[in-house]
């Protein structure tokens, strides 16, 4: 804002300084009007119509304010969407410039309002019409590019959403297949292992431990299968014992999870900051529930003797969930095998689909921390997720290449646009300077010639002088001179209205050089003939 105001002020002052070369009348008044126009210029953002009309009046009274009016017309036309309103505003501003210039014409031009009107016409074109048209084109181009970009983004979101929906259906089919085949086989193995354990308890007690190992291994496989099905299954709903309810993800739900972990022998502390999550979308609450549940499950498996802190922070901002456990005591045996990481991978995918982030890793103190940030009001997160290798668009995905062309237009180098703007502004400035020069360089105070009348002195008849040729033509053909005339003047005369007659006007003066007689008569003129003789 400050740079724009300073720029138009410099342009207006330079135009005022150039106008001084042509004897600009009332230069102090023009300078004052320019300063007032510069003060009004910043108001064009808040009151565009009133500011432009006021600047138009000032530009008509003082042409030096033309650059300020041109800049205001350009910026106002850019942000104006309704064509009829724009036409009325620019037309009204042009009319005000011409009316103001016409009223100030006797002071600006050579004593006539006609010259003021001429200057007003030139200033209306240079300060309102041309900048307004350029601003209209620029605004329409910017709005068109914005619409093309929004349309391209919408098409891209729709394509990605369709791809994601197709992947979800495929993953659901895989999960159902695994549940029907692998889950059933594992259930049979667990059932037969239990029967074998009971049979070997009496027949071969030394082999009973092997049957117990088989049953435990089958149980672990079933648990890991359920985790895999949770990742591959539909992300829009939870099934089984973890089905979504109205309380899922609320403070009461998280407190229930913490209480269950305490009952299992884990020291868990819950820290809640901010309001409850019951007003948030279901997918956000479900993600919070899954993060806390999966983190506590991992603590049960790998650090059951450690202290755990569950922190949920929500203050009208993205929900931040942190589950942190300390290092287990050295005397406690920890599992020798590390986890597969599938549970954390599923959590990360769920959170990222909502537009959030999930970080999990070991702490320098020996503990482990899971931190998830979930947006409180997620947008179309499937569309906003970056494309992975598997999501690359195929050549037949139906996207319009016109969007790429619009993006290419929007990346026009700023240097080229700035250079074009500077050259256009310089051309308008020169047009205003030429208009001022054409009007102000006219001779000022020139009055029409005085019509001769009896009684005037010879000195009062400015521009009347004697022509020897006319005097010679009048000799012998002129009427008698007045008795008290001491001399006569024969001014030049133009051709007569009658062929063969030459009009002559004679002014006779007395001894006091006063006009005492005005005589008009004609004398025969030489007939035009070719410069050769005819036979």
3-state SS class at 151: helix
What confidence tens digit (pLDDT) does each residue in 11-56 have? 888 888 887 777 677 778 888 888 898 889 888 888 888 888 888 8
pLDDT of residue 386: 41
pLDDT at position 400, please?
A: 41
Give CA–CA dist 119/63, Å, rounded. Answer: 8
Lowest mean pLDDT among 5-9, 224-228, 392-396, 424-428: 392-396
How many Cβ atoms from other residues are within 10 Å of residue 80's Cβ?
19
- Whether 38 contacts 2, CB under 8 Å: no
Specify whether 106 is located in the same domain as 193.
yes
Within 10 angstroms of residue 381's Cβ, the number of other Cβ atoms is 16
Is 427 contained in some domain?
A: no
pLDDT in tens, 148-188: 888 888 888 888 888 888 887 777 777 766 666 676 677 77
Q: Considering the domain boundaries, does residue 460 fall inside one? A: yes
Residue 146 lies in a domain: yes
Helix (H) or strand (E) holding 271: strand 267-273
Same domain for 10 and 107?
Answer: yes
Share of the chain above pLDDT 90, in %: 9
The β-bridge partners of 273 are 313
Give dist(CA 501, CA 522) in Å, integer.
6
SS (H, E, C) 304-369: CCCEEEEEEECCCCCEEEEEEECCCCCCCCCCCCCCCCHHHHHHHHHHHHCCCEEEEEECCCCCEE
180 vs 518, more confident:
518
End residue of a domain, out of 202, 232, 262: 232
Q: Rounded to an integer, what distance in angstroms lies between the CA atom of residue 165 and that of residue 161?
A: 6
Please report which confidence band the pLDDT of residue 488 belongs to, taking 50, 70 and 90 as the band edges. Answer: very high
Give the CATH number of the domain where residue 302 resides: 3.30.565.10
Average pLDDT, the chain: 78
Q: Which of 237, 368, 233 is nearest to 297 (CA)?
A: 368
User: What integer pLDDT is reported at residue 321 of this predicted model?
Assistant: 93
Statement to judge: residues 117 and 259 lie in one domain = no
Query: Of 80-84, 150-154, 224-228, 259-263, which range is least confident?
Result: 224-228
Q: Please list the helix, strand and coil fractions of the chain in percent, rounded to the nearest 5, in that order.
A: 60, 10, 30
pLDDT value of position 6: 84
Residues 129 and 162 in one domain: yes
436-458 pLDDT, tens digit each: 777 766 655 555 567 888 888 88
- What's the pLDDT at 431? 80
Which among 44, 392, 210, 272 is positioned nearest to 55, based on CA atoms? 44
Residues 196, 267 within the same domain = no
Indicate if 368 and 490 belong to the same structural domain: no
Would you say residue 75 lies in a domain? yes
In a domain, 451, yes or no: no
Total domains in the chain come to 3
Say what the pLDDT of residue 399 is. 39
Structure tokens belonging to residue 520 = 């008009």
Are 257 and 366 members of one domain? Answer: yes
Say whether both 365 and 475 belong to one domain.
Answer: no
Residues 126 and 58 in one domain: yes
Q: Coil, strand, or helix at residue 480? A: coil
Model confidence at 240: pLDDT above 50 = no
* Tens digit of each residue's pLDDT (9 = 90 or more) over 94-140: 888 888 888 887 766 555 677 778 888 888 888 888 888 888 888 88
Residue 415 resides in a domain? no
Q: How confident is the model at residue 379 (pLDDT cuts 50, 70, 90)?
A: low
Whether the per-residue pLDDT at 237 is higher than 90: the answer is: no
What pLDDT score was predicted for residue 447? 55
Same domain, residue pair 226 and 360: no
**208 and 270 fall within a common domain:** no
- Domain boundary residue among 200, 232, 264? 232
Note whether residue 368 is domain-resident.
yes
Is pLDDT larger for residue 472 or for residue 204?
A: 472
Q: How far apart are CA 116 and CA 103, in angstroms?
A: 7
**Do both 347 and 305 map to the same domain?**
yes
| 178 belongs to a structural domain | yes
The domain in which residue 294 lies consists of: 251-329+342-374
């Amino acid at each position: 804002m400050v740079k724009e105001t300073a720029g138009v002020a410099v342009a207006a002052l330079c135009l005022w300084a150039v106008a001084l070369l042509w004897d600009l009348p009332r230069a102090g008044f023009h300078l004052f009007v320019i300063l007032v126009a510069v003060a009004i210029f910043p108001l064009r953002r808040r009151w565009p119509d009133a500011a432009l009309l006021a600047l138009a009046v000032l530009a008509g009274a003082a042409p030096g304010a033309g650059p300020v009016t041109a800049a205001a017309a350009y910026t106002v036309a850019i942000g104006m969407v309704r064509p009829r309103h724009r036409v009325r505003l620019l037309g009204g501003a042009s009319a005000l410039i011409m009316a103001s210039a016409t009223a100030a014409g006797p002071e600006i031009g050579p004593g006539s309002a006609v010259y003021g009107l001429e200057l007003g016409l030139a200033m209306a074109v240079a300060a309102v019409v041309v900048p307004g048209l350029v601003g209209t084109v620029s605004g329409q181009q910017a709005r068109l590019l914005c619409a093309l970009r929004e349309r391209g983004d919408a098409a891209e979101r729709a394509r990605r959403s369709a791809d994601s929906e197709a992947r979800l259906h495929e993953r659901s089919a895989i999960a159902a297949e695994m549940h029907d085949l692998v889950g059933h086989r594992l259930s049979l193995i667990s059932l037969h292992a239990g029967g074998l354990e009971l049979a070997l308890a009496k027949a071969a007690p030394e082999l009973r431990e092997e049957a117990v190992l088989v049953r435990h291994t089958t149980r672990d496989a079933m648990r890991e299968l359920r985790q895999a099905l949770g990742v591959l299954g539909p992300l829009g709903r939870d099934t089984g014992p973890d089905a979504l309810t109205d309380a899922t993800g609320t403070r009461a739900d998280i407190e229930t999870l913490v209480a269950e972990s305490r009952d299992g022998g884990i020291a868990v502390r819950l820290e809640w900051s901010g309001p409850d999550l019951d007003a948030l979308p279901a997918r956000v609450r479900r993600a919070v529930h899954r993060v806390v549940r999966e983190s506590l499950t991992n603590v049960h498996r790998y650090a059951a003797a450690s202290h755990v802190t569950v922190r949920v922070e929500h203050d009208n901002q993205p929900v931040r969930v942190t589950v942190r456990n300390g290092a287990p005591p050295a005397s406690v045996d920890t599992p020798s095998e590390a986890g597969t990481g599938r549970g954390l991978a599923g959590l990360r995918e769920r959170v990222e689909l909502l537009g959030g982030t999930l970080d999990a890793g070991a702490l320098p103190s020996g503990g482990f921390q899971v931190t998830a940030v979930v947006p409180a009001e997620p947008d179309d997160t499937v569309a906003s997720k970056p494309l992975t290798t598997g999501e690359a668009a195929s050549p037949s995905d139906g996207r319009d290449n016109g969007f790429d062309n619009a993006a290419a237009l929007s990346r026009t180098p700023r240097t080229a646009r700035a250079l074009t703007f500077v050259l256009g502004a310089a051309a308008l400035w020169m047009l205003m300077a030429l208009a001022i020069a054409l009007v102000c360089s006219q001779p000022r105070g020139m009055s029409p010639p005085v019509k001769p009348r009896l009684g005037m002195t010879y000195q009062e008849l400015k521009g009347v002088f004697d022509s020897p040729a006319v005097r010679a033509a009048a000799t012998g053909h002129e009427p008698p001179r007045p008795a008290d005339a001491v001399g006569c003047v024969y001014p030049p005369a133009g051709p007569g209205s009658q062929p063969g007659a030459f009009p002559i006007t004679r002014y006779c003066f007395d001894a006091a050089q006063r006009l005492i007689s005005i005589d008009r008569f004609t004398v025969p003129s030489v007939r035009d003939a070719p410069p050769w003789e005819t036979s």
